[in-house]
Structure 1
């Protein structure tokens, strides 16, 4: 753990949920013969994760089955239920796929980003933590962030207005995570989700804004997602009080 992450308030319940989910999901990848390789990316891949960190996974599959694995729900999951899943291929380079979504585990949300690559483009980023490699892919000099920004991105898939509303609902905990970390990007994240831009607001004010936004999403008919968002914000408050 880095010095920066050591200053972030601990949240062992979140870390435990993430560990349980990841253990089951990685076991599922090992048992899937169609998966040629898999690695942890992001902060978990670099070893800089804190208790609030989300999960970023890279999965390598045969070129012919790339789209098969990019369907929400196709990749293995851990305990809990899927609250929402989105085609996020626009977050990766052309020729790759991505799926992002929220899982609810013990009443709390967990965000997972899947990056799906074909074997023809396989190679492990310099900052990845490989846990499955059936073909001995090369280790690349570039970081995963550099690989994501190389060349053209995949064009986004069309989404309905309600999809954008659901995405905002399930991303409220991501803004809550920024509050817990005392991130200077908190105000911009809240603005991105449709709230007011208040860079000078206290963390209490930011939390109150997110709670109001959650209640506004009640009309979507996703009470479990709203309740999980409030539970997450409760946890943020407990850690900062």
Structure 2
């Protein structure tokens, strides 16, 4: 773990939920013969994760099956239930797919980003941790972030107002994570979610702004996500108090 991540307050409950979910999902990937390989990317893959880190997975499948795997119902899952899913193909190079989801485990939200790449574009980034590889794919000369930014991206799929609001609701815990990490980007993210831009606010004021946003999102009719958001912010407060 890096020096920077070691300064982040611990949240063993979140780390435990993540570990349980990932262990079960990994078994599901292993058991699917159509998955040619899988790796952890992002902070977990690079070995710089902290207890608050989410899960980023890179999955390689046959080119012809790419779109079949670009739905969370086709990909394996761990314990809990899926509360939100979003097509995120615009986050990947052209010819790849990506999908993001919020899972509710033991009353807390867990965010998972899946990157689905075809065999014709397969390769393991330098900062990834390979889970398994049935084909012996090469290592790339780039990190995962460099790989994603090197090529032209897929066009985003259109989202209506309701889906945009559902996405903002699901991202409230991500903003809460930034509060826990004392990130300088916290104020900008709260603004993106529809709250006030207050870069000089205290962490308690940032939490209050997020709680107000959650109450506003209640009209979307997604009570599980709203409750999970409040539970996450409760955990942030307990950790920082």
Task: Determine helix, strand or coil for the equivalent of 2:112.
Answer: strand
Q: Where do 1:39-188 residues align within 5 Å? A: 39-188=39-188
The aligned counterpart of 1:32 is 32
Task: Determine helix, strand or coil for the equivalent of 1:94.
Answer: coil
Query: What are the Cα deviations for residues 142-173 of structure 1, in whole angstroms up to 9, with x where unaligned?
Result: 00000100121000111111000000001000
Task: Determine helix, strand or coil for the equivalent of 1:194.
Answer: coil
Superposition deviation, residue 73 in structure 1: 1.6
TM-score of the aligned structures, taking structure 2 as reference length:
0.99
Distance 2:131 2:5 in 1: 23
- Runs of 4+ off more than 2 Å: none
Query: What are the Cα deviations for residues 7-64 of structure 1, in whole angstroms up to 9, with x where unaligned?
Result: 0000000000000000000000000000000000000001100000000000000000
TM-score of the aligned structures, taking structure 1 as reference length:
0.99
Distance 1:10 1:3 in 2: 14
Query: What are the Cα deviations for residues 183-233 of structure 1, in whole angstroms up to 9, with x where unaligned?
Result: 000000101111110000000000000000000011111111100000000
Say if 1:15 and 1:51, in contact at 8 Å, map to a contact too.
Answer: yes
Superposition deviation, residue 84 in structure 1: 0.3
Superposition deviation, residue 77 in structure 1: 0.3
Distance 1:157 1:211 in 2: 29
Superposition deviation, residue 71 in structure 1: 1.7
Superposition deviation, residue 72 in structure 1: 2.7
Distance 1:204 1:74 in 2: 40
Task: Determine helix, strand or coil for the equivalent of 2:150.
Answer: coil
Say if 1:102 and 1:111, in contact at 8 Å, map to a contact too.
Answer: yes
The aligned counterpart of 2:23 is 23
Distance 1:169 1:159 in 2: 15
Give ranges in structure 1 of 5+ residues lacking alignment.
none
Cα RMSD of the aligned pairs, angstroms, is 0.5
Distance 1:73 1:213 in 2: 29
